[in-house]
Amino acid sequence: MFCLHERLKNYTIEIARLELSRRLLMNDCSLPWLILVPEREEITEIHELDEKDRRILIEEIAGISRVIQKLYLPDKINIGALGNLLPSCTFML
C-alpha cells in the first residue's frame, strides 16, 4: 500500500488525486509550488514506472503546467525530481 512520505505530509496540502499521482501544494506562499507524487510503492525513479504510468505522469505534468501558465504567466516553468530529498518518486513544478 502506498504511503505518503512524512516530510511531504508535514509541508504540503493535498489538493487533488489524479489518475496516477497525488497533487500537493507546498505550504510556501512565495511561489506556487505544486508537487506530484505517483502513488506507486517502491518506485524512486521515473524509469521504474511502467510505460503506461510514465505516459500518464507526463500528461499530468503537462496538465498542471498549463494551469500554472494560465494562472501565473511565468517566464519559465521548472520541473524537477526531488529524489535527492525524498526516497520516493516525487516531482516539483
Q: Which residues contact 40 (CB under 8 A, 6 or more apart)?
A: 2, 20, 49, 53, 89
Asked whether the predicted pLDDT for residue 85 surpasses 70, the reply is no
pLDDT tens-digit map of 3-16: 887 888 888 999 99
Residue 62 lies in a domain: yes
Asked whether the predicted pLDDT for residue 86 surpasses 80, the reply is no
Give the number of domains in the chain.
1
Asked whether the predicted pLDDT for residue 33 surpasses 80, the reply is yes
Helix (H) or strand (E) holding 22: strand 21-26
Look up the CATH number of the domain holding residue 47: 3.30.428.10
Q: Please give the average per-residue pLDDT across 54-82, as a whole number.
A: 92
Residue 24 lies in a domain: yes
Name residue, grid cell 525524498: 86
Residue 73 lies in a domain: yes
Read off the pTM: 0.84
Residue 36 lies in a domain: yes
Domain that holds residue 13: 6-92
